[in-house]
Amino acid sequence: MKLWQKETPIDQQIETFTVGNDYILDFKLVPYDCLASQAHAKMLAKIGILTEEESARLVLELDKIAEQAKAGIFKILPEQEDCHTAIENRLVEKLGELGKKIHTARSRNDQVLTALRLYYKDALESCQESVTALSTSIERFVQKYGQIALPGYTHTRKAMPSSITMWGGAFVAAMQDNLSLVDASMNMIDQCPLGTAAGYGVPLEIDREFTASELGFGRVQENPVYAQLSRGKLEATMLHTQSQIMLDLNRFASDLIFFSMPEIGYFSLPTDLCTGSSIMPQKQNPDVLELVRAKYHSVFACEMQLRTTTANLISGYHRDLQLTKEPTMKGLEITNSSLAIVTLVFERLSVDETKCKEGLTEEVFATEEVYRLVAEGAPFREAYRRVAGRYKK
C-alpha cells in the first residue's frame, strides 16, 4: 500500500500545505467578494481615485463574475490560492491596467474579512429563518398532540406527570433563547471592516461610511487593529450560537431516541427517517436522530478550533487566521442542515397515546399525593415522609 507516499515535488508540497482547500471553500465567497469589490470601486470613484466610467466597468465585470459563479462556471485554481486572486486576475485579464487599480486602498486582509462577514450575515439570516421554522413545526406538533399526558423523567427515571405541551414547549422556549443569541451574534458581525487594510489602515483619505452603507452593514468597524484582533473572536460568538442551537437539537434527538424505544414507546419515528442493519433483519434504527446528536460534537469541535487558534498570539494579522475560515463555514452549514432535518422530523413524528397512558403508573403521582396531605394541613416535610414510607424497599 503506498497511500502515504511523499514523492510530491517540494514546491507543490508547500503550495498544497499553504493553500489547503481554500480554493474550494472560497467558491462560496465569490459573490460576496464581488459585492464588496463593487462597493470598493464605487468608493474609489467617489474619492477620485477612479473615474466614474472606470468604476462602472469594474462593477459590470464583477457582476459577470458573480453570475458565472452562480452558474457554477467561474473557477478558482489551486495556484490562485483563493477567490480574491482569482477575481482580481479575471479583472486584469478583461480590463487590463484598470484591473490593477482595484486593490488600491485595501489589503487582502480587509478584503477577506469583508467577504466573510457578508457571507456570515447571510448565514445568520438563514439560521434565524431555520430556527423560526423549527419553532413553528414544534408548535404545530404540540397543537396536534399537546393534550396527551405522559410521565416526565428525572435521573432517567419516571418522576412526575408531564405532557406533550410541556415537553414540546421546552424546545420552543430554547429556540426563543437561541434567537436572541442569533441577534447578539448578528450585532457583533454587522460591522464593516473594509478599509482597515492590513490592520493599520491605509495612507489615503477613504470613505468608510460609504462602503459600509453600500454593503448594508449596520456600522463601520472603526479601529483597524481591532478588525484583525476580532478575527476568530466574532466568529467564535457566532459558532457559540450555532453550538447552543445544536445542543438543543442534541438533547431533543436524545429524547426521541430514548422515548421511542419499544420498551417505552411514547413516540413513533417515521420509518423514512429510520435505517436498517446489514446483519439484523428486524432493525429500525433512528440513524437520522443519532447523526443530529453527533453533529453537535462536530459543530462544537469547529467552535473549539476557533477558540484556541488565536490565543497566546500578539495582535496583528497572522496566517494562522486563515485556518479559522473552514471551521466557521462548516459549523454554520452543519447547523443549518440539522435545523432543516429536525424540522422535518417534527412534521412526521407521532405520539402513541396508549403507551403514554400506560406509562403513567401509580408512583408518578406520589408528589400529588403529598400535596393532598399538605392541603389537609400536614407540613410538607411530614407529608413527604409519610408517602415516602410506602415506597421503601
The residues annotated as belonging to the active site are: 155, 277
Q: Do the Cβ atoms of 146 and 165 come closer than 8 Å?
A: yes
Query: Among 55, 137, 305, 335, which residue interacts with a copy of itself (rule: CB under 8 A)?
Result: 305
Site membership for a copy of itself, residue 3 (CB under 8 A):
yes
Contact segment (CB under 8 A) with a copy of itself among 57-65, 71-79, 136-144, 264-272 equals 264-272
- Give the interface segment with a copy of itself, choosing from 26-34, 55-63, 134-142, 208-216 (CB under 8 A): 26-34
Q: What is the nearest approach in angstroms of a copy of itself to the Cβ of residue 211?
A: 17
Cβ closest to a copy of itself, residue 114 vs residue 309 = 309
Nearest partner of 354 among 148, 138, 158, judged by Cα:
148
Interaction between residue 156 and a copy of itself (CB under 8 A): yes
Among 261, 350, 354, 357, which residue sits at the site for a copy of itself (rule: CB under 8 A)?
261
Residue 7 Cβ, how far from a copy of itself at the closest point, in Å?
A: 11
Residue bearing cell 490560492:
81
Name the packing angle between helices 83-95 and 52-70 (round to 10°): 130
- 177 lies in the binding site for a copy of itself (CB under 8 A): yes
Which x/- pattern, by CB under 8 A, does the window 101-120 give for a copy of itself? xxxx-xxxx---------x-
Q: What is the 3-state secondary structure (H, E, C) of the chain?
A: CCCCCCCCCHHHHHHHHHHCCHHHHHHHHHHHHHHHHHHHHHHHHHCCCCCHHHHHHHHHHHHHHHHHHHCCCCCCCHHHCCHHHHHHHHHHHHHHHHHHHCCCCCCHHHHHHHHHHHHHHHHHHHHHHHHHHHHHHHHHHHHHHCCCEEEEEECCEEEEEEEHHHHHHHHHHHHHHHHHHHHHHHHHHCEECCCCCCCCCCCCCCCHHHHHHHCCCCEECCCHHHHHHCCCHHHHHHHHHHHHHHHHHHHHHHHHHHHCCCCCCCEECCHHHCECCCCCCCCCECHHHHHHHHHHHHHHHHHHHHHHHCCCCCCCCCHHHHHHHHHHHHHHHHHHHHHHHHHHHHHHCEECHHHHHHHCCHHHHHHHHHHHHHHCCCCHHHHHHHHHHHHCC
When the beta carbons of 59 and 188 are compared against a copy of itself, the nearer one is 188
Binding footprint of a copy of itself, residue count (CB under 8 A) = 169
Cα–Cα distance measured from residue 329 to residue 365, given in angstroms and rounded to the nearest whole number: 49
- Shortest reach from residue 339's CB to a copy of itself, in Å: 10
* Contact with a copy of itself (CB under 8 A) among 25, 47, 148, 170: 170
**Interaction between residue 287 and a copy of itself (CB under 8 A):** yes
Q: Which residues contact 384 (CB under 8 A, 6 or more apart)?
A: 370
Q: Is residue 40 near a copy of itself by the rule CB under 8 A?
A: no
Select 136 or 223, whichever has its Cβ closest to a copy of itself: 223
C-beta of 6: minimal distance to a copy of itself in Å? 6
Does position 139 interact with a copy of itself (CB under 8 A)? The reply is no
Which residues in the 216-255 window bind a copy of itself by CB under 8 A? 221-226, 228-230, 233-234, 236-237, 240, 243-244, 247-248, 250-251, 254-255
Interface pick for a copy of itself out of 283, 350, 354, 357 (rule CB under 8 A): 283
Q: Which three cell numbers stand for residue 338?
A: 440539522
Closer to a copy of itself by Cβ: residue 77 or 313: 313
Is 95 an interacting residue with respect to a copy of itself (CB under 8 A)?
A: no
Q: Is 198 in the site for a copy of itself (CB under 8 A)?
A: yes
The least distance separating a copy of itself from the CB of residue 162, rounded to whole angstroms, comes to 5
In angstroms, give the least distance from the CB of 144 to a copy of itself: 18
Residues 6+ apart with CB under 8 A from 190: 117, 121, 217, 218, 219
Residue 391 interacting with a copy of itself (CB under 8 A): yes
Q: Report the residue from 214, 327, 335, 346 that binds a copy of itself according to the rule CB under 8 A.
A: 327
Least distance between a copy of itself and beta carbon 380 (Å):
4
Residue span 55-94 as binding mask against a copy of itself, x where in contact by CB under 8 A, dash where not: -------------------------------------x--
